[in-house]
Structure 1
């Protein structure tokens, strides 16, 4: 069953500049799709358009149906109902997603309370469980901390805990490891891969690095200048890319062979 259906999505600025041009793709329930392309290719704007989070001065046209709800042009009340329940997002830099003035536990608790109605001790236990599932040590201490009091890798795990707490059908991961050290990046990818498999969630994974995408996705959509260039199974894209731009991405991918071996072992 199709979970996300994007048809003719176009994103333009207020002065008429087209940033995403007539883009179409689908994500089925439980499927993992990677959006890949260099900076400025329109990947992140696509994910923001899916959830109705485009910055001021940008508008989306076309059709985006998420779990049966049309998000293009939808009122904020409808979009709020979709976010967290049907799809949740983890951004590249968690400091932009985390409130620096609010304790981390409260930031997880607030959307949980809205979605589940939990209060008091059951809510605190749910927050603790959310932090434990992303393998954070001392979850009670983390829950009391502010974002600046923990490391970048820990902040990204908190952001992932927030995204997964309400058990969305689709996880949108927008360059979630780019700002992390290489060793921490590998741990984060393994964590995302394991949690997604355990929950049988769908994933829309955004990255400029084909090797990273190959570790956690099954199908790839290559973007350039706001348009789709090539689409197919990750192994097919890597072994026989049809477009020159895709061939360049394959050539520049780091540790691609080991990444594909990791996916084959799943």
Structure 2
């Protein structure tokens, strides 16, 4: 009897699986034809499976992505470009909110956030998008790798719609930790590998070619036609607080600088304690000026 029950149970299971597969196939056909929407439970399951495949954001990138998600209210009818998208954490978070996101990266094979897949884009070259295409461009930790970030800013301006916004982050080379690093090592950034090593592993260890302070990034945006709406830092590093006395001294010295010097070097911001002890990433929100403003 036990054997029969087992055999009967196996038959019932096979019939149940066949029936479930049939229902699943019908559901997929209906979804593709637009006759129905997938159940919330199915959507959540797919979201969880995709999230499992995504590697965690590296370094300060996680804090940057969280900052962008909380700093801006996106609307469903707006087009967003995520460049460089990397594995696709930000794209995934925005798409699950129902937003129209184009993912792009120099290495699109690293994208793991589902369909539509990422398109290949070299930020050192003209961007392959028509003018006035996007409401938002999100560029997290990308411009520091470029040979000519000023050209990239002009391209960002071209493909943004009038009034569109560029949400940009790059390493904060003006905080106290990196200033001390420059004093001790002669470089605020990690030294690049020899050229032949970059050819072997171009993605795993990309060099920081453009290690500009905050005032230069603001200038690049201004020249391209942007208005800076907000400058901030994120992804704080606790060990920066060891340099608190030095940061305080620099901040106090900045207050005694002449007026023109304070303006030229953006000292109101770069010599402030908030910036000196700020996070590892500099965050900027820039708006494309209209032709009238320009």
TM-score (norm 1): 0.30
The higher relative CO (CA closer than 8 Å, separation ≥ 6) is in 1
TM-score (norm 2): 0.28
Structure with a larger share of its residues in strand: 1
Larger radius of gyration: 2
